[in-house]
Amino acid sequence: MTVTQARSVNALRQELTALKALDQEQARTMPPSFYTSEDFLELEKEHIFRKEWICLGHVGEIPNPGDFYTTELVGEQLLISHGHDGEIYVLSNVCRHRGNLVEAQASGNRRSFVCQYHAWTYNTDGQLKTAPLMKKKTKFDVKGCKLPQLKTEIWNNFIFVNLDGMAAPLAEQLGGLQSILQNYHHEQRNLLFKDEAVWHTNWKNLTENFMEGYHLFATHPTTLQPMTPTQLCRKVPGEERWTAYRSYYDPDYPPRGPFHEDMTEDERNNSVLFNVFPSFVVAVAANYTLYLCLRPTDSDKVSIRWGICGLKTDPTDPEVVAYIDLCKSFNAEDKDKLETLQKAQNTRYYQTGPLAPDDLEGTIWDFLSYMGKRLGADLELSD
Ligand code: FES
Ligand SMILES: [Fe+2]
C-alpha cells in the first residue's frame, strides 16, 4: 500500500472511531470513499469477512445427501456439501494434489468429488478416497489427505462459515434476535426460490439499503409502500452482532397468511428485518422470508445469493409466484437506486450527511457502530 493509500484508509478508520463517540442525535453517514476505496475493501476482507460468520446460503439448496454447490468468498473457493453421512460441510474446493478446483460445476449431486485435472477423488466430507497411479509413492498417505473442513454452523437453516476458525459460536451471539424470531418458526419455512446476482454497488450500500425503511415511500411507491409504509417502521434495539427493525403492515392491506399458529396478533401484522453483521440481511414477513447473502467482489460490486422461504411447499403456487414477482420488482427498484448511488459516490464534494430518525435509519447507525468496533481505533494492525 502506498503512503497515500494508507493515509486514506487511516482517515476512514479515524472517521469510524469519531462516529462511535457521537450520540444518536448527531448520527451521520460515512464519507463516500468508505464505499469506493479498494484499499479499505482489503481491510474489510481481512478483518471482517475472514473473521466473522458469513452466510453462504440455505440448507434447502442441498436437501439430499450428495447435493452440493460451489461459491467464492473473498478469494477462497468453497464447496458446500451435503455429505452422505447426513452432515453439511463447507470444504475448501482446492485439490490437495496441485491445487486445481476439485468441483468445477456450480451445483449438482455426486457420489464423490473427482478433480478433473488428475482425477483425485474425494468423499463428500472431503476425505481423499483414491489418487490414480500413486501406489509407487510409498510415503504417500491417502488417509492423511483431506480437503480442509471450514468451521460451519447452521442457524435457522442458514449455512454460515467462519474462514479463520476463531469466531465464537454464532447462535450464542444471536440469542436476542432468536427470541424475536421464535414464534415465526423460520426453521419450518421451505426454500421456494433461489437466485444469484451481481449488482454494481458496494456491499455496504446494499446492506444499509435493505435495512432502512426510510426509502420505501420514495423508491418503492407502488410495490412496498402500500403494504409496509415508511411511516410505520419501528426500530428494534439491536445487540453487538445484529440490528433489526419492524415494518408494520398498512391496516387497509389484506392479512398475509399462512401464519404459524404460535404467532401473536402483533407478529401477524409486521415483518422483522434484520442484519446479522456484516452482510446477511433478511426480511421475515408474517408469511414469507426473503434473505440476501452478500459478499463483496470489488469495491463497486456485490455478489448476492438470495432466496425466499415459506410454510407453503409448492413453488408454482400462484400466491408464491406472485410474492417472488413482487420481490423481483422491488429488488429491481433498489438496484437502480444503488447503482446510481455508487456512481455519485465518486464525488469529491459530498462529505457526510445526517441520518434520519432512529425508526427510519437507526439500523444504519448500528451498522456503522459495528464497523467502527471492527475497523476503528481498537483494531491493531501489524504494519
Ligand atoms: S490438481 Fe487435482 S488431481 Fe491434480
Ligand atoms: Fe428497497
Domain residue extents for the chain: 53-154, 170-375
pLDDT (0 to 100) of residue 383: 54
pLDDT tens digits, one per residue of 163-211:
999 999 999 999 999 999 999 999 899 999 999 999 999 999 999 999 9
pLDDT tens digits, one per residue of 120-141:
999 999 999 999 999 899 899 9
Answer whether 122 contacts ligand 1 (Cβ < 6 A). no
Q: Band of the pLDDT at 62, cuts 50, 70, 90?
A: very high
Which residue's C-alpha comes closest to atom 4 of ligand 1? 118
pLDDT tens digits, one per residue of 273-315:
999 999 999 999 999 999 999 999 999 999 999 999 999 999 9
Task: Please say whether the beta carbons of 14 and 31 come within 8 A.
Answer: no
Kindly state which CATH superfamily the domain 170-375 is placed in.
Naphthalene 1,2-dioxygenase Alpha Subunit; Chain A, domain 1 (3.90.380.10)
pLDDT (0 to 100) of residue 7: 75
Q: Is the pLDDT of residue 224 over 70?
A: yes
Distance 23 CA to ligand 2 centre (A): 27
Question: Strand 301-310 and strand 288-298: pairing?
Answer: antiparallel
What mean pLDDT value characterizes the chain? Answer: 95
The answer for residues whose C-beta is within 8 angstroms of residue 145's C-beta and 6 or more apart is 96, 127, 128, 131
Distance CA 201, CA 11 (A): 22
Distance 143 CA to ligand 2 centre (A): 50
- The CATH label, of 3.40.50.10860, 3.20.20.70, 2.102.10.10, 1.10.510.10, for the domain at 53-154 is 2.102.10.10
- Ligand showing the shortest atom-to-Cα distance for residue 341: 2
> Residue 76: how many CB atoms within 10 A of its CB?
17
**Greatest pairwise CA separation for the chain in angstroms:** 76
Read off the pTM. Answer: 0.96
pLDDT (0 to 100) of residue 258: 86
The DSSP 8-state label assigned to residue 35 in this structure reads: G
pLDDT (0 to 100) of residue 179: 96
pLDDT (0 to 100) of residue 382: 64
Closest ligand 1 atom, residue 118 Cα:
3
Q: Which of 113, 115, 137 to mutate to test the pocket of ligand 1 (most atoms within 8 A of CB)?
A: 115
Which residue's C-alpha comes closest to atom 3 of ligand 1? 118
pLDDT tens digits, one per residue of 83-119:
999 999 999 999 999 999 999 999 999 999 999 999 9
- Ligand showing the shortest atom-to-Cα distance for residue 212: 2
Answer whether 128 contacts ligand 1 (Cβ < 6 A). no
Q: Is the pLDDT of residue 369 over 80?
A: yes
pLDDT (0 to 100) of residue 24: 87
Answer whether 114 contacts ligand 1 (Cβ < 6 A). no
Quick one: what percent of the chain has pLDDT higher than 70?
Answer: 99
